[in-house]
Structures are given as structure tokens and as C-alpha cells.
Chain A
Amino acid sequence: MFSDYSMSELGAIFAMQGFAGLILFSVFVLMALGLAIIFGQMGVINMAHGEFMILGAYVTYFTSIFFADYMPALFGTYFFVAMILAFIASGTLGLLVEWSIIRHLYKRPLDTLLATWGLSLILQQLYRTAFGAREVGVTIPSWMMGSMPVTDMIEVPINGIFVMVLAVGISMAVYIMMFRSNWGKQVRAINQNRVMAGAVGINTEWTDRLTFGIGCGVAGVAGSAFTMIGSTGPTAGQLYIVDTFLVVVFGGAGSILGTIASAFSISQAQSIMEFFLSGSMAKVLTLLVVVGILMVRPQGLFSLKLRK
């Protein structure tokens, strides 16, 4: 199959395909980070994670419209405002959901799965009723359009680079929050031993709520970033949920580094196989390999040694 291509063409194809894989990697990382916090640290299965992302995307969409209508001069910068707003919107919704539903179900993880699935159905219908069933796309600011030539044959889209930069930035922020801040220390303490953490004076209830809120907020930012490379519809969130869970489980729940490593391997495997096989077969093979590895190594790639 390679005989039709010259050597330099092949190199360009692999580079482009690798770059497509990197964009997919950024997407996976952004999606999975919020879930890694919620599922990995709290053990809560949030099936409505995708809908929190979509909320962020809609917030971005409306911010862009607002800027276009009232502050066209500042249109190039709307995205940064939108990201903060998306974090606040999704995070607030997360706090509300934790308070009303999740906190009653901490002892029954399988039931949180069903309840949050119900929540995701309600949110989907809410988006459809409020914003219409049609997919919406934002106007990308002009500095993000076009592509950057690397060599004569290889070109990389600027919005792709931007999403990658964002993924790196948000990962760093999450890492610093988890391992350098007081909140992160409390979350990890609760994860290791809830009763002891409470005994030494950590407000476990409030920390749980905050953790869930921050996880949802990160999902909102991820959704905001998605608008740069794709359109948003009410049911778009559901498409991502299985991938996202697999990324987190494959990486080893509880390990942020594992999540990033697994996002990298899954995305690269998928995008390289996509070149040789049809898109659906590449997806099937990737998922099968991931599930197969999980069957042999259920604790995932990076596992924390915890006394259960």
C-alpha cells in the first residue's frame, strides 16, 4: 500500500496523521481531566459529564454572539472571557447537582450512575428546548483561522495548536491544584481515608462539593475549547462519554498522569489506525485493545497503591 507514495510524502502523511492524533489527544485530555477529578478522586460516576461540557460550549457560543453584537472591537479576545464564564456556569451547576443529588448517593456508586444518566437526559432536553435542536458553531476569531506551514507539504491548523496549548495549560493548572494547593491536599487525604481526614478537621462534606464543582467546571472549559474545532448540539455530550470513561479507567483512576498517558496512547493509536483502516474499524480496534488490556490489568496503566 505504500508503493504509491514517495518517501517524503509518506513522512508528511505520518506527520499530519500524528498531528491529527495530537489534536485528538488534547480533546481527550480536556474531556478526561474533569472526570479524572470526579471519578478518580471521589469515585462518583458522572454520566452527565458530557452535558457539563456542552453547557460550557453553549456559554462560549453566547459569549461570542454578545461580543459580536456589543463589543466588536474586542472580538478577538472573547474566547478568554468565555472560558472563565464556562468554568463558572458548569461549576455552579455542578455544585447544585452535588448538593441536590450526588451527596445522597456516595455510598451507592452504581446508583449515582443511573441518577446522573437521568440528569443527562434532562439536560439534553433542556438544551434542545432552550437553544434548539440544530447544531451551532461559533465564529472563530480571525487570528485563530488558517494554518501554519511547517514544510511545503506539512501544514498545521492554528486552532488545533491553540487547543493543544489549552490542553497543556489546563493540565498544568489541574496538576498544581491537586498537588500544590490546600484543597488538593484535602481531596487526596479524603480519598485515602475519609474518616481520618474528617477526624483531623477537614470539612469532608464541603471538600466533596467543591471537588465535584471544580471537576464540572473543568468540563465546562473543555466544552468551551471544543467550540474552536467543532460545532455544538444538544446531544453532542453523549458521544464522548464512553471514550472519556475509558480514558480515565485505562489510565488508572486517581492518577492524573495516568489519564494523560492513556489519552495519549488511545488517541495516537486511533488516529494512526484511521489512516490504514476505515474510521469505524479503527475505533472498534482501539476500544477492543483498551478493553482487552483492562481485562488483563484492571487497575489501569498507573495505579495508586491504596489500602482499601
Chain B
Amino acid sequence: MTLSKNPLFTRHEAAAFAVLAFVIFLLLPAALDNFRLNLFGKYLTYAFVAVGLALCWGAGGILSLGQGVFFGLGGYCMAMFLKLEASTPENTSIQSTPGIPDFMDWNQLTELPLWWTPFYSLTFALIAVVIVPVIFAFIIGVAMFRRRVGGVYFAIITQAFAAILTILIIGQQGFTGGVNGITDLRTLKGWDIRTDEAKEVLYYVNGALLFVVLFIAHFVRKSKLGRILIAMRDQEDRVRFSGYDVASFKIFIFCLGAAFAGIGGAMFTLQVGFMSPTLVGIVPSIEMVIFCAVGGRLSIIGAVYGALLVNWAKTSFSESFPELWLFGLGGLFIAVVMLFPNGLAGVWTEKVLPQLTGLWKSRKSQPQKEEALQ
């Protein structure tokens, strides 16, 4: 692949996208019952975060341990809208103050806090789902990257943000629903999101949105920006000395990852029907990193498979061997880092693909570089 002849999709990439589309839109719906499909819908929402991480971490070399913050912010924005719609005065007539969310009533609040009121509007909520995480990411990014804080320190500070937001949400029970989160969400503009049909529709919406996100991510990777990111990851100083403003690129990619995570969070709220601080904190944030690491941190398609596989394994393991699951997850962390640093995608491009091309002997193909499977 030369730079002058650089099509947006090589044959391999087009095939990878097609296979993923087949798996998500045909194979899984055909193979799974409604309950399982809904679970996979939930896993797909994590895939949004994993794709964002593949860009930030795999391409940009920025490891964020606070993606749960953005996932949570997006999810809470959506949940606030849904909660307000569910809390009509008729539905909440038994409360001492009808018309406000039930947890506010339990916490002796008598009117809706001012910052909740814009969330009566769906348009505002949908914009907030993307914008709020991006604003947060922008502030963190500007503060950190402009001062050239990176690597380990960035990881620890983003982790601190995950801790701060969790403590804040749990502590401010009256405004946020506390440790239970925002639950009992019912309808979206009058459309009941709790029925089986709705869950199935949402699964497809999830899949479609995920593909939009994947195309954006793929475009970024293929563009000049994507190549600068990789150059920056490998030799930051050289890129800086070549006259590029390294910090701006990092801020951009971090914000993009945050936006993806926010969308994922909002879709999670719709698909699962609640949002709670257990999806914001340190543990879920690190688990999101492992989805990306298992799939292959360099590959955006791999990240989707990673999210689906790890979560599927988690569910099936914890159903049958609850004791063993943490051993499995912990072992997975160590094994991926030590044996397969490029994850499944790395195994595929380094081990499986050369075998396949050797079998077909269609033409003398050179060993695929890591860019081949994006």
C-alpha cells in the first residue's frame, strides 16, 4: 500500500467490514433468542467505547482509564430525558410532589433542580449526549496535553476522574439517584422501550450507529490525521519538531473517543433501561480497556469483537462458574498483555491471514502489516 495510491477501503478492510456487518445484522439475530439478542445489544454499546479507545490508545498512544466517565455522562444525559418523560404528574401522583422523578421525592426535594429542566427536550438531550462528554474531554485534554502530561500520569489522572464522578453521583443522591442510578425508564416520545420488539429495534439501531462510528473511526485512521497520530505515538518529539502541534491532535482524538463513549452510554440507557454509577467507576473503565486490548488495540474492528467476546464470556462464565470468572478475567488481562499484545486482530493478521493467503495462493501477497485489519 503506497501513500499515493491509498484507497479508503482496501480489499481486506472492505471484507472485514462486510463480515462484521454479517455477524451483527444477520448471524446474531438469527442465532439468538430475544433475551440473548438484548444482551448482545448491551455488549454493542460497550463496543462504542472500545472503538474510541482503539483510536486514543492504539493509534494515539493515550491510555485513558476514565472512559467510564464519558460513557456515564452520555448515559445519564439520556436517562435524565427518559426519567422526566416517565415522571409525568399522572404517573407520580402518589408522591408528595408529583411531576418530579421518584428519587428526588424520596430525598425530600420539592422541585426540579434548574439544570434538569433542559432535559425535557429530546433534541437537547441528544445533543448533550455527545457534547457533554466532549466538553469534559476537551477540558481534561487541554489541561493535560498542553502541559505535555502523558502516558502513565494521564492514565492515573483520568482514573481519578472516574473515582470523583462516581463519588459525586453516589453522594448527591437527590439529584442523581445515588447508588441505584436512574431506574424505571419507560418510554421514548411515547414509544415503550421495555417491550421485546423495542429491544430488537434498538439492537439494530445500535448496530447501525456502531457502523457510523466505525466509518468515522476508519476515515480518521486513513486520513493524514490518522498517520500523524501513529507517528506521534511512536516518536512524539520528531513530530513536534516537524512543526506539528502535537497537543491539538491528542485533544481531538481524546474528544472523539469521548463522543463515541457518550453515544455508547446513551444507547446503553435505552437498551438496558437504566443508568447507574456502577458503569462509571474505575472498575468498568478498566474493563472497557480490556475489551479493546483483547480485540487488538490497533484495530477498530477488532475492538468490536473484543467487546462482544469478553462480555459474552463474562456472562456465560458468571452464569455457570461465578467463582471462576474473576480468575478468568484476571488471567485474560495478563495473557493478553504478555502473550498477545496486539490482541485478536494481531493473531489474525500475523498467524491466520498468512496461512489463508498461502492456502489460496491467489497471488504472492506480502505479510500484512497491522494497518491491514482496521
Contact = CB atoms under 8 A, between A and B. Distances in A.
Nearest to A123: B330
Interface in A107-123: 108-111, 113-115, 117-122
Interface stretch (B37-45, B163-171, B218-226): B163-171
Contacts of A108: 337, 341
Contacts of A245: 156, 159-160
If over half of A's interface residues share one DSSP class (helix, strand or loop), that class is named, otherwise mixed; here it is helix
If over half of B's interface residues share one DSSP class (helix, strand or loop), that class is named, otherwise mixed; here it is helix
A238 B159 CA distance: 13
A238 B171 CA distance: 19
B338 A110 contact: no
A119 B155 CA distance: 18
A245 B162 CA distance: 14
For the side of the interface on B, what is the size category? 35 or more
B63 A242 contact: no
A295 B323 CA distance: 41
Interface string B127-148: 0000000000000000110011
Interface string B349-360: 000000000000
Contact of B326 (A101, A124, A278, A294): A124
Interface stretch (B67-75, B208-216, B264-272, B282-290): B282-290
Nearest to B336: A114
Contact of B157 (A114, A283, A291): A291
Contacts of B156: 45, 245-246, 249
Report which residue of B286, B323, B330, B336 has the largest number of chain A beta carbons within 10 angstroms of its beta carbon: B330
Contacts of A109: 151-152
Given A110-B63, A118-B333, A249-B156, A242 B338 contact: no
The 6 A-B residue pairs with the shortest CB-CB distance, nearest first, are A118-B333, A280-B171, A121-B330, A122-B330, A125-B326, A295-B143
Given A105-B338, A111-B341, A291-B164, 8 more contacts: A101-B334, A115-B337, A122-B326, A122-B331, A129-B323, A287-B160, A295-B143, A298-B144
19 contacts: A45-B155, A45-B156, A104-B338, A105-B337, A105-B338, A109-B151, A113-B155, A114-B289, A118-B331, A119-B330, A121-B329, A242-B163, A245-B156, A246-B160, A249-B156, A280-B167, A283-B167, A284-B164, A291-B161
